[in-house]
Structure 1
Amino acid sequence: MTATHLRSGAPLNRQGMTVVELLVAIAMIGLLLSILLPAVQMARSSSRRLHCSNNIRQLVLGCALYHDSFSVFPPLRRISSANSCGEATVFSRLFPYVEVPDLCQLEESETQHIPQFECPADGDLRSAPKPLSYTANASPGDGSGSSLRGPFNSFELVSARDITDGLSSTAGISEDIVVRSKGTRSEGARQPVKHAWYVSVPDVSAATRMNPASPAAIAERAAQTESSVQGCVSGPRDFVNLGSPSIGRWAGHWGSGAQYSHWLPPNAPYCIVSDSLSDPNMFLVHNRRAASSHTRGVNVGYIDGHVRFISDKIAQEAWRSMGTRNGNETVNID
């Protein structure tokens, strides 16, 4: 019998890998994930932002089609209507022009959600009744003390010829987000735009209430508005633990959730007047801000149909000028 001898220099078949090789592989995988995950998150964020932008574009184009039919833009709220299915708003009036069933049909079918009216960046809205992720420009807003006007109004019908600043320079519809209920002050401090805040606002004189159209009254109301805006943006303000989410609704909503004013900067906190009973005409009683869950800005649809993403850091003068239809400003927002 011949014996088989194993040479001392012959290679051995190894099973598995060393600890060092395993650690190197894990480190490489972690490095790849650290590179890929932000890119994936950014792609998702861009997709949500584009989705919201497309919805806004359809809404402002719907406003143009409404104008073609009635020679005016839809009023902010119901001026005169025999609609028995709920209060007519800018958005419910646009139903026929954005491929949404009639308001009465929606009410009868107990429909709670319209995809075209919800922005995916706004989070899970399944529990919110008839949510609206968009808001109509009512600048400068009720109680602002300004004589300027925006494209949507509660008390007058506005046509294209009334927009003397130009359709391409006048904002029509922007984004809004659900203001979360409950939470803590620390959570609110981290994301003030998603929580509610009380702001103390100085009262106006009896003379202003008696004669609100006088120059002195208008000036005092404007000063009160500026004080409330400053308090909302930078304080002092008090955290509000809402019992239920505050949302805009696409029908039956007379409150301020379906309108916003450019007198407040984009993505400002959601502010409430701490005591409005003595003066119900305060600016913050009626007006909110444009807001989104996107990073560093909001989508804004202009009356001519185009949409732009506007930075949170836009200058106050530029932001307010794009909110009015008759200020005759010449301001570059870039």
Structure 2
Amino acid sequence: MVGLGADAFSSLGPRDVTDGLSQTVFLGEKLIPPVNRSGSGISGPAYEHPNLWIRLIRDIAIPRLPPPESAQFAYDCEHEALPPGATWPMDGQSLFGHYGAEFNHVLPPNRNSCMNGNGDLPGGYGFRASTATSQHAGGVHVLMGDGAVKFASDEIDVDVWRAVGTRNGNEVAAAAF
């Protein structure tokens, strides 16, 4: 299994998911727009979805953010992100490579995706929020570690969403999810 906090060259097994397989999201939906290699601009219905763009954050440029700064980053991503004209498409083949094809649990589903920092900083592009996205009204489908498919509402409590996004954080969130 790759993911769940593993780097691309290590593997994890069920024994490593100490929060419980039924309380850990393994996979979920992420919209990926078509790749445009023509250089003629980006257009079409897939690009009308606002969450297919990485929005830049103005202020914070810290490679690894501890909890107080990560909470501020999440707030800035939702409320103070630069306008769409100052964004890059998340197409899975863009400047960010695979970043367009994955999501994390910094923000609930179908919210802004954001990043801060730049490639010159130690640790790469710094902190980012890459949200789960879908074209379903109100949320996204996720696959739990035990094989159950659940619908995660856009309105899910952010603490619950973050809890089901860890494999060994010692949170118990299944009842609220």
TM-score bracket, shorter-length normalisation:
0.7 to 0.9
Counterpart pick for 1:259 among 79, 85, 102: 102
Match status 1:269 vs 2:112: yes
Contact 2:56–2:87 (Cα < 8 Å) also in 1: no
Could you tell me which residue of structure 1 aligns to residue 24 of structure 2?
170
Structure 2 unaligned spans of 5+: 35-40
User: What's the offset of the Cα at 1:263?
Assistant: 1.6
Could you tell me which residue of structure 2 aligns to residue 248 of structure 1?
92
Compute the RMSD of aligned alpha carbons.
3.0
1:152, 1:298 → 2: CA distance?
23
Q: How does 1:29-44 map to 2 (within 5 A)?
A: none
For 2:85, give the aligned amino acid. Answer: V
Could you tell me which residue of structure 2 aligns to residue 223 of structure 1?
68
1:194, 1:203 → 2: CA distance?
22
Q: Give TM-score, length-normalised by structure 1.
A: 0.43
Deviations 1:73-129 (A, max 9, x none): 2x34xxxxxxxxxxxxxxxxxxxxxxxxxxxxxxxxxxxxxxxxxxxxxxxxxxxxx
- 2:150 alignment partner, SS class: strand
Contact 2:115–2:126 (Cα < 8 Å) also in 1: no
- In structure 2, relative to structure 1, the CA distance for the partners of 1:197 and 1:228 (3 Å cut) is same
Match status 1:312 vs 2:143: no
Deviations 1:198-223 (A, max 9, x none): 2224234xxxx7xxxxxxxx7x5443
Contact 2:119–2:125 (Cα < 8 Å) also in 1: no
2:87, 2:120 → 1: CA distance?
22
Structure 1 residue ranges, 4+ long, deviating more than 6 angstroms after superposition: none
Match status 1:298 vs 2:152: no
Answer 1 or 2: which has greater strand percent.
2
Match status 1:321 vs 2:175: no
- In structure 2, relative to structure 1, the CA distance for the partners of 1:229 and 1:298 (3 Å cut) is same
Q: Give TM-score, length-normalised by structure 2.
A: 0.75
1:333, 1:247 → 2: CA distance?
33
Counterpart pick for 2:56 among 172, 190, 198: 198
Number of residues of Structure 1 aligned to a counterpart in Structure 2: 163
Counterpart pick for 1:283 among 117, 122, 127: 127
- 2:56 alignment partner, SS class: strand
1:155, 1:224 → 2: CA distance?
29
Structure 1 unaligned spans of 5+: 1-72, 77-149, 210-217
